[in-house]
Amino acid sequence: MMSDLTKFTLAEARDAVASKKISSLELTRAHIDAIEKARGLNAFVLETPDKALDMAKASDARIASGTAGPLEGLPLGIKDLYATEGVHMQACSHILDGFRPPYESTVTSQLWRDGAVMLGKLNMDEFAMGSSNETSYYGPVASPWLPPGWDETKGRAALKGDKKGLLVPGGSSGGSSSAVAAHLCLAATATDTGGSIRQPAAFTGTVGIKPTYGRCSRWGVAAFASSLDQAGPIARTVRDSAIMLRSMAGYDAKDSTSVNAPVPDYEKAVGASIKGKKIGIPKEYRIDGMPAEIEALWQQGIEWLRAAGAEIVDISLPHTKTALPAYYIVAPAEASSNLARYDGVRYGLRVPGKDISSMYENTRAEGFGREVRRRIMIGTYVLSAGYYDAYYVRAQKIRTLIKRDFELAYQDGIDAILTPATPSAAFGIGEKGSSDPVEMYLNDVFTVTVNMAGLPGLAVPGGLSASGLPLGLQLIGRPFEEETLFSVAEVIEQAAGRISLPQAWW
């Protein structure tokens, strides 16, 4: 019976705990048990069961005394990019070995303020650089979805080995998406710099929202590319993601790009009518070589929204094609600057050298994985003397053009834009990017524009591929109009039917 408690949505669990049908302690224990049994997936890099049980008992006491918060007693997973006071935080990198932050990130502190329970830290691509969770120092994460044609025995054998052939959960928030899809936590925190919330959500049949830049505080979240990074949730339903975002969002004086605007009760937008809403369909997202089933999914999404009374409008975002290459200048440039702090002096790993310079060089060579080293070097190059204008300044100008495309569409009255979330369903561990890094980068072709323009973007399951794997649709909104995305996404979720997540085989 205990394990059934993990099948609740966040909203159902909230209501059951608030009405004392179940205790937070029972709910938390059920999730701790589920995590223990799912270690093969490698979704968690640190389990904190003692802390979780203490927090759950405190939640039950607050419920008894009538002082419960909006997330009271609900067990969550936290991406390892978030600082958690006194608890392991390494951005899944070797270079932060042993780091225990003496402070708590603003976003997680708001979750605890609202009563949530921490189950542990979730795996991710190293410093959030990756689209498959294969760059983690702690090894790859497996998706709970079995590859087409695999049975449970074959899946379990692969989990015990090198995981090759099992499906990736997407990245960089692959621990978050895998854990949520496998019912190891009710919801999880994630982050998105180029698609790292939406692509993993699409690959695992979960819902993820990257809010508008400035909506959530970045304080205490290890920086990758500061002008693109945003925090957001991954959850199993649109409603659950709305509940999570309300607690995560809000102004924070400690983040100078945080926006001082009231946080709406996003849950109220779930179920609101979308009659008369103008939904833009950008022709530039119909890319060469896009699988027919992605095109069909997109058409299906259009039909669902039309049936719900939305007006479908063809639009053009002419600079779409430039977004991914421009991103691979801007993001590495900012990363090379942000990651300069990892020098073996103040925290983490130190590898000795003959002098201080070689100590820096040895520490960074050993502490950073291949993908991170590669991006730091590209960033260093595009910022170096003689190349700064040709690469970095040009990319920032192109960013202005990308944003202008969206602004013109919104000026014409478009309320939200519908696109596919990813160009394909999930692929296998070890399948992509080993010889050409660009092959992996193409995963973010539909999501990266949204970060470049600072807009909110949401991925919601739209159905299954011919081989039975989840496919996601993406909704892009006006700045700070996340509510519209929740309303439209709920229509898609209702029409598509909630995706049936895999039963435990692991």
Partner 1 sequence: MSVDQATVRRIAHLARIAVRDEEVPHLQEELNAILSFVEELSAVDVSGVEPMTSVIPMSLPLRKDEVSGHAGADVVTRNAPGAEDHFFTVPKVVE
Residues of this chain, 98-117, that bind partner 1 according to CB under 8 A: 98-100, 102-103
Are the beta carbons of 322 and 402 closer than 8 angstroms?
Answer: yes
Record the tokens describing residue 261, joined without a space. Answer: 């605007």
d(CA 401, CA 399): 5
**Please, are residues 141 and 353 in contact by the beta-carbon 8 Å criterion?**
no
Helix axes 10-18, 49-64, angle to 10 degrees: 50
Q: Which residues contact 496 (CB under 8 A, 6 or more apart)?
A: 304, 460, 461, 462, 463
Query: Which residue, 75 or 454, is less far from partner 1 as judged by CB?
Result: 454
Which pair of structure tokens corresponds to residue 10? Answer: 């966040």
- Listed ranges 131-139, 237-245, 342-350, 414-422: which one lies at the site for partner 1 (CB under 8 A): 342-350
Pick from 453, 476, 485, 489 the residue near partner 1 by CB under 8 A. 453
# binding residues, partner 1 (CB under 8 A): 73
> Strands 187-192 and 230-235: what pairing?
antiparallel
Is the CB of 307 or the CB of 365 nearer to partner 1? 365
| Joined tokens for residue 412 | 């014409």
Pick the closer one to partner 1 by CB: 176 or 336: 336
**From 8, 285, 360, 506, residue interacting with partner 1 (rule: CB under 8 A):** 360
Considering beta carbons, is residue 61 or 345 the nearer one to partner 1?
Answer: 345
346 makes contact with partner 1 (CB under 8 A): yes
| SS3 category, 292 | helix
Q: Which of 155, 170, 194, 214 binds partner 1 (CB under 8 A)?
A: 214
E strands, 269-389, in order: 278-282, 311-315
- SS3 for 84? strand
Q: How far is the CB of 192 from partner 1 (least distance, A)?
A: 14
Taking CB under 8 A as the rule, does residue 160 contact partner 1? no
* CB of 262 vs partner 1, minimal distance in Å: 16
For residue 349 the two structure tokens come to: 């790993």
Establish if 400 lies at the interface with partner 1 (CB under 8 A): yes
Catalytic site residues?
A: 79, 172, 196
**Least CB distance to partner 1 at residue 392 (A):** 8
Which stretch, 25-33, 167-175, 203-211, 375-383, contacts partner 1 (CB under 8 A)? 375-383
Of the candidate residues 128, 182, 398, 485, the single one contacting partner 1 (CB under 8 A) = 398
Q: Is 219 in the site for partner 1 (CB under 8 A)?
A: no
| Cβ nearer to partner 1, comparing 35 with 326 | 326
Closest approach, Cβ 186 to partner 1, in A, equals 31
Stretch of residues binding partner 1 (CB under 8 A), selected from 49-57, 188-196, 373-381, 460-468: 373-381
Stretch that binds partner 1, among 34-42, 131-139, 200-208, 325-333 (CB under 8 A): 325-333
**Nearest-CA neighbor of 316 among 217, 179, 226, 414?**
414
Q: Helix 238-248 to helix 10-18 angle, to the nearest 10 degrees?
A: 70
Q: What are phi and psi of 477, to 5 degrees?
A: -115, 175
CB of 201 to partner 1, least distance (A): 22
Q: How far is the CB of 195 from partner 1 (least distance, A)?
A: 16
The 3-state DSSP class for residue 404 equals helix
Asked if 274 contacts 488 with a C-beta cutoff of 8 angstroms, the reply is yes
Binding residue (CB under 8 A) for partner 1 from 69, 171, 420, 479: 479
Q: How many CB atoms are located within 10 Å of the residue 341 CB?
A: 12
Nearer to partner 1, 362 or 465 (CB): 362
Residues 6+ apart with CB under 8 A from 170: 131, 132, 133, 143, 177, 199, 200, 201, 202, 203, 204, 422, 426, 443
Residue 62 interacts with partner 1 (CB under 8 A): yes or no: no
Residues 254-313 that bind partner 1 (CB under 8 A): 256-257, 259
Closer CB to partner 1, 98 or 276, in the complex: 98
Told to check if 226 binds partner 1 by CB under 8 A, we report no
| CA neighbor of 88 nearest in space, from 101, 77, 104, 75 | 101
Compute the least distance from the CB of residue 227 to partner 1, in Å: 6
Among 352, 411, 497, 503, binds partner 1 (CB under 8 A): 352
Q: Which of 62, 94, 154, 403 binds partner 1 (CB under 8 A)?
A: 403
DSSP class of 43:
-
- Candidate ranges 43-51, 56-64, 202-210, 372-380; the one touching partner 1 (CB under 8 A): 372-380
With respect to partner 1, which residue has the nearer C-beta, 323 or 501? 323
Report yes or no: 83 and 105 within 8 Å, Cβ to Cβ: yes
Assigned token pair, 484: 């519209």
CB half-sphere exposure, 189, CA atoms < 13 A:
33
What is the C-alpha separation between 385 and 198, in angstroms, rounded?
A: 36
Which residues, numbered 405-444, are part of the site for partner 1 (CB under 8 A)? 436-438, 441
Enter the DSSP assignment of 229. Answer: -
From 271, 365, 413, 468, residue interacting with partner 1 (rule: CB under 8 A):
365
376-395 residues near partner 1, rule: CB under 8 A: 376-381, 384, 387, 390-391, 393-395
